Amino acid sequence: MKPLLAVFALVLAVGVAAAEEPDGLKLPPGFHATVVAEGLGPVRHLTVRANGDIYISTPVDKQNNGNGIIALHLDANHRADQIVNFSSVEGGTGIGFYNGELYASTASAVYRFRFGGDGLLPETDPDIIVEGMPAPRPGFNRANVPFAFDGRGNLYIALEGSANRCTDPNTPSGAAPVGLKPCPDLTDRAGIWRFNAGKTDQKFPGDGEQFATGIRDTTALDWSPADGHLYVITQGVDDTHKFWPQIVSEQADDQIADEMHRVIKGADLGWPYTYYDGVHKLRLIAPEYGGDGNKTAPEGKYATPVLTFQSRRASEVDLVFYSGHRFPASYRGGAFIVQHGTRNRNGYDVVFVPFNRNGVAGAPTVFADGFAAFDASSDTPNRAKYRPIGAAVGPDGALYVADSEQGRIWRITYGGN
Residue 294 within any structural domain of the chain: no
Give the per-residue pLDDT at 142.
59
C-alpha–C-alpha distance, residues 44 and 328, integer Å:
28
Looking at the chain, the number of H-run helices and the number of E-run strands are: 4, 28
C-alpha–C-alpha distance, residues 71 and 81, integer Å:
11
Residue 284 within any structural domain of the chain: no
C-alpha–C-alpha distance, residues 215 and 231, integer Å:
13
Residue 17 within any structural domain of the chain: no
| pTM for this predicted structure | 0.92
C-alpha closest to that of 156 among 215, 69, 70, 90:
215
Kindly report the CATH number assigned to the domain that includes residue 399.
Answer: 2.120.10.30
In the chain, the number of structural domains is 1
Of 93-107, 133-147, 261-275, which gets the smallest average pLDDT? 133-147
The number of C-alpha atoms within 13 Å of 329 and in the hemisphere containing its C-beta is 2
Residue 286 within any structural domain of the chain: no
Residue 366 within any structural domain of the chain: yes
Tens of pLDDT along 357-400?
888 999 999 999 999 987 655 666 678 899 999 999 999 999 99
Residue 296 within any structural domain of the chain: no
Residue 251 within any structural domain of the chain: no
Give the per-residue pLDDT at 91.
76
Domain range holding 138?
23-162+186-240+258-266+307-414
Residue 119 within any structural domain of the chain: yes
Tens of pLDDT along 46-66?
999 999 999 999 976 545 556
**Residue 18: pLDDT band by 50, 70, 90 thresholds?**
very low
Tens of pLDDT along 149-170?
999 999 999 999 999 999 998 8
